[in-house]
A and B are shown apart, each in its own frame.
Chain A
C-alpha cells in the first residue's frame, strides 16, 4: 500500500517490512530455543525483574484482603482457633515421640543392612501468588526464586503430600507445575506392598491416573501411594494420593486406576519447598554460574 508521506510511503514501508522480518525471526528463534532447552533461563530472569512490579500489583489486593480478614477477626474466633491448634500440636507431639523411637530403630536397622540412613530434608515455606498463568496448563507462581536458592525440578509439598515441582526459576518468583498437569508424572509406590508405578496427571486437579498397572497387580481402592524417590526429583516417602477406583478389563493388559491426590492441589495458599540431601549438591552446581554472571 502506497500513500504519500506518512508511514505508508514506499521506502518506509520496506523498512517496516525489514524490521518486522527481523523481530519475527528473533521471536521465532527464541521460541525454538526456549522449547528445546534451558538456555534462555537467564533472559527470562531479566524479563521477570521487569514484570515483577505487575505481579506484585496483581497479588496485592488479594494479600491485603487476607491480611484484613485476619486482623479484623474477632477475639472469640482467634481463641477458638488457638485452642484447636494447641490440640492439634499436642496430638502431633505424641505422634512425634513415637516417631523418634521408630526413626532411631530405622537408622539402626539400615546400619545393620549397610544402606545409608535417610536424613531430614531441609524445607522453606513459599506463598502461592494470586497470579493466573496460562489457563490451559496447571501452573502457578510462588514468591520464592533464585535468591532463595530455588532450582528447576525442586519438589513442592504441602501439609498432606506432594504438590508439584518447579519448572522455571526467576529472581524473586518461580513457576511450578502441579502433579495433576497433563504433562506431569510422579514415580510412586503402593505403601502397602511396595509395588512401583507412575502416577500421571489428567489436567483435572482432583484426579491422577496410573496407566501402567497390570490387571493382575495387587492394588486396591484406598491404597496409599507414596513417592518412590525414583527419578530423583521427589524425595521418597511422601504421600501422593489414595486409589479411588480400580477397573480391570479382561480384554486389556493394563487396569484403569484412578487416584485422588493427597494434597489440596487447587486450594493451597502455601507450599513447602524441599531440599533433599542429594539435591543440595546439585543446587550448588546450578546456582554457581548464575550467581557469577551478572
Chain B
C-alpha cells in the first residue's frame, strides 16, 4: 500500500506541474513558444509505465487542459488520446531505441497533437495559422531529451528509495 502511494506521488505531481506550466502567465514571446507540457509528460509516462498510465489518464489530463485553457471541451482530450494510443502501441520499440530515434518519434507525436488542435480550431471556425503552432512543437521536441534524462534520474532515485 505504501509503495503504491509512493510511486503515485511523483507521477501525479509531474502531471500537475505540467498543467501549471501550461497556464502560468508569461511574456508574449514566451507564450508564443510555450511547449505543450501536458502532452510531453503524458508521452513520457506512456513509454515508462504503460501499464499504469494509459488512455484514461490521457482523457482526464486532456479534459483538465481543456477546462483550464477554455478550449472546446474534448479538444485536447482527443489529441491526447490519439498520441497516447500510438505511444501505447509502440512503447516496447520506443523505450529501448536510441534517444535520437525517440526524439524523432516524439516530434511526430507532437506534430499530430498540434495538428489535431489546429484542425479542430479550423472546424470550429477559428482560423489560426498553423505556423503559429510550429514554435511550441519544435521547442517541445528539443526539450524531450532533457525531460527524459531528468525524469529518468528522479524515477531511479524514487525506486531506489522505495526498495531500500
A182 to B: closest C-beta gap in Å:
8
Contact indicator B31/A132 (Cβ below 8 Å) = yes
Contact indicator B25/A131 (Cβ below 8 Å) = yes
Take A20-B81, A23-B81, A48-B67 as given contacts and tell me if A31 and B72 are in contact as well, using a CB distance cutoff of 8 Å: yes
Which residues on the B side are within 8 Å of A168 (C-beta)? 70
Which residues on the A side are within 8 Å of B71 (C-beta)? 134
Does B145 lie at the interface of the complex (its beta carbon under 8 Å from any beta carbon of A)? no
Which residues on the B side are within 8 Å of A29 (C-beta)? 74
Contact indicator A132/B26 (Cβ below 8 Å) = yes
User: Among residues 13 to 61 in chain A, which have CB atoms less than 8 Å away from a CB atom of chain B?
Assistant: 13, 16, 19-20, 23-24, 26-31, 34-35, 40, 43-44, 47-48, 50-51, 54-55, 57-58
How many angstroms between the C-alpha atoms of A3 and B14 in the bound complex?
Answer: 30
- The answer, among B16, B55, B70, B132, for a CB contact under 8 Å with A175, is B70
The interface stretch among A78-86, A102-110, A135-143, A252-260 is A135-143
B130 to A: closest C-beta gap in Å:
11
Does B32 lie at the interface of the complex (its beta carbon under 8 Å from any beta carbon of A)? yes
Contact indicator B72/A34 (Cβ below 8 Å) = yes
- The answer, among B19, B25, B120, for a CB contact under 8 Å with A54, is B19
Contact indicator B23/A131 (Cβ below 8 Å) = yes
Does B41 lie at the interface of the complex (its beta carbon under 8 Å from any beta carbon of A)? no
Contact indicator B67/A27 (Cβ below 8 Å) = no
Contact indicator A131/B55 (Cβ below 8 Å) = no
Take A31-B120, A50-B64, A135-B34 as given contacts and tell me if A20 and B55 are in contact as well, using a CB distance cutoff of 8 Å: yes
A-B CB contact pairs (8 Å), 16 listed: A1-B89, A7-B51, A23-B77, A23-B81, A27-B62, A27-B74, A28-B78, A30-B73, A31-B78, A51-B68, A54-B64, A133-B23, A134-B69, A137-B70, A141-B70, A168-B70
Q: Which residues of A are at the interface with B, using a C-beta cutoff of 8 A?
A: 1, 3, 6-8, 13, 16, 19-20, 23-24, 26-31, 34-35, 40, 43-44, 47-48, 50-51, 54-55, 57-58, 62, 130-137, 139, 141, 168, 175, 183
